Structure 1
């Protein structure tokens, strides 16, 4: 089914809502997930302010927008699969509209439960966005970022569809990303972990040292939801691309857990 910028793959089964990282378009962001969840209804959608959406939107308004979308589709509650900033949006949706969320798979999510990290992220993207608005500078920044992503991709030996997805992200729209991140510090300061609902949840964290702020933030999120943390050797921030089979298996396992609970 396709309507108003929303595609729902599959006619029956547990609804699964995909939330890509950054301000990226959802289509093609999660290689193999739509096909691997053939027994589910998979929702592909670019929320306002991201991807190909022509509608302005804010991070603070993302949860209400997605709740309205789920109501309009008549398919709640959903299992949310969110990577990076998409994972943070999934957390915000679960907090604001717990009745709409049946479960969560958060793929190295932005730690929206850590105001200090969010403030740093917002400052960094704001500076990059400002630089990218200077005539001539945007092109230089874009080429530098693209070159860095291409070099990294060549070293990873990714599956062909995952390599294509990562190279697509090399064409990053820096000002759009800065707008997508805007407000995350204030949102983070207003988030209390005890306010998060208990739902089936898996937080996949990259292969990093246990003492890092990201790892600690992920562990706190998992504890708040009553879920678990998993990490795979060599996993990077783009865990859905360097470990696509494990990602699919994790989503399918959580969907099965939700179905068994229903």
Structure 2
């Protein structure tokens, strides 16, 4: 491989947009599920750079950029949860019949849940990493929504001034040079913040509807990896409520598993990638 995250490949969605993916083929002769990664709200494929190559020692491992992020074309039709889940299913269609294990971080958690509920027959399991979850009441309070309304315009201003990467410089430390260059070029742009704002426009309202009518996952195994620490915008109280929502999520799965990344806050793929790798490998190795 000439790049840490594998070989590039383009996926064409049902309405003709081009999504950028990168593929590690996995070990020769591997017969288990393919693993596909879904990043957080404003994150690109690069957010999985410490996890995907390690998973690829055991299984084919694929990352991609959602529309309007990284190298993928923007979506003129908007960024609702339904459209993002449709795009993920288009990615899965492109790479074969499955089975698939889907890994989603943060806002990627609801996206993989909805995509899996649409086509459950090809999903071998979900690994949700510190996911946004509708069982967390804090998401729907005034304080959270006010914070979001403040942060998005601030992010747009910082992006225009070229200062956004300074705020997130911690994410650029200790990573391979090729991934760092990708992040510096792609992750802190005005377009990224524009896409994040479009996603946020309907995300919480759609998620609120799931409190009465959630995606049905049936007997799909679900593992949730929660951060064990506050910080990164999480107070101790918010962390406790988020983790309680994660425990509730796994309780609804017949093969639910809840794991705490004790040394991590929200950015578990960066701070404790080994925890995620272990849980994904466990999922891909489980008997059918």
Please tell me the TM-score bracket, short chain as reference: 0.7 to 0.9
**Map of 1:232 onto structure 2:** 261
1:72–1:90: structure 2 CA closer, same or farther, 3 Å change rule?
same
The answer to whether the 8 Å contact 1:23/1:177 transfers is: yes
**Map of 1:251 onto structure 2:** 280
The answer to whether the 8 Å contact 1:166/1:241 transfers is: no
1:36-75 aligned within 5 A = 36-56=55-75, 57-58=78-79, 59-75=81-97
**Map of 2:244 onto structure 1:** 216
Shift of 1:202: 1.1
Determine whether 1:196 maps to 2:221.
Answer: no
TM-score, scaled to structure 1: 0.79
**Map of 1:96 onto structure 2:** 118
- Greater mean deviation of Cα atoms: 220-229 or 201-210: 201-210
Shift of 1:19: 0.7
Please state whether the residue corresponding to 1:221 is helix, strand or coil: helix
- Greater mean deviation of Cα atoms: 38-47 or 80-89: 38-47
1:231–1:90: structure 2 CA closer, same or farther, 3 Å change rule?
same
Gaps of 5+ in 1: none
1:132-171 aligned within 5 A = 139=160, 143=163, 146-150=165-169, 159-161=174-176, 164=180, 168=184, 171=188
**Map of 2:226 onto structure 1:** 205
Distance 2:148 2:248 in 1: 25
The answer to whether the 8 Å contact 2:227/2:264 transfers is: yes
Please state whether the residue corresponding to 1:54 is helix, strand or coil: coil
Shift of 1:161: 4.1
The answer to whether the 8 Å contact 2:226/2:243 transfers is: yes
Shift of 1:153: 5.8
Distance 2:85 2:219 in 1: 18
Distance 2:220 2:22 in 1: 26
Q: Deviations over 1:102-129 (max 9, x none)?
A: 1011111112444650566555444433
Gaps of 5+ in 2: 1-6, 12-19, 230-235
Please state whether the residue corresponding to 1:229 is helix, strand or coil: strand
Q: RMSD across aligned C-alpha pairs, in angstroms?
A: 3.3
Shift of 1:204: 0.4
TM-score, scaled to structure 2: 0.72
Determine whether 1:8 maps to 2:23.
Answer: yes
Q: How many residues align?
A: 251
Please state whether the residue corresponding to 2:63 is helix, strand or coil: strand
